[in-house]
Amino acid sequence: MKEKRKADRIKAVLILSYDLFKGVRVRRHGVSEDVSFTGIRIKIPKKYAQELSKEQTVGLEIEGLPKIESFFIGGKVVWIAPGPDENSSRVGITFVEMNDFQKDKLAKYLHGITK
């Protein structure tokens, strides 16, 4: 399979929350496996993956680091795959419609986790 990533991924375990936009907001939690300036790969319970579909829009809250507070970014589900164990799934999400504030926060965040 040809690599489709547009930016280098940083291995990082980040706790994050995401909202499903299906008429009603549903708050779920996941753990990232890696993150870049263009997207994130998360691991979630398998039962939550059943609520997602490809191309679905989600809202991500990335928990803060020291001196960097939590922030929100919109995303779109690109792929869903089985996780490393029978009770989990992996989800690839591309970030969408980031404004300058979000881009700046994400850049500082990525810089902070690579230190």
**Tens-digit pLDDT profile for residues 23-51:** 666 777 788 888 888 898 888 889 888 88
Q: What is the pLDDT of residue 16?
A: 60
pLDDT tens-place string over residues 16-25: 666 666 566 6
- pLDDT at position 80 is 94
Band (pLDDT 50/70/90 cuts) for residue 74 is confident
d(CA 35, CA 115): 15
Residues 40 and 95 sit within 8 Å (Cβ to Cβ): yes
Tokens of 78: 């690109």
According to DSSP, residue 103 is labeled H
d(CA 41, CA 92): 5
The CATH number of the structural domain formed by 10-113 is 2.40.10.220
pLDDT score of 104 more than 80 = yes
Q: Taking residues 72-87, report their average pLDDT.
A: 91
CA 75 from centroid of its chain's CA atoms? 7
pTM above 0.85, yes or no: no
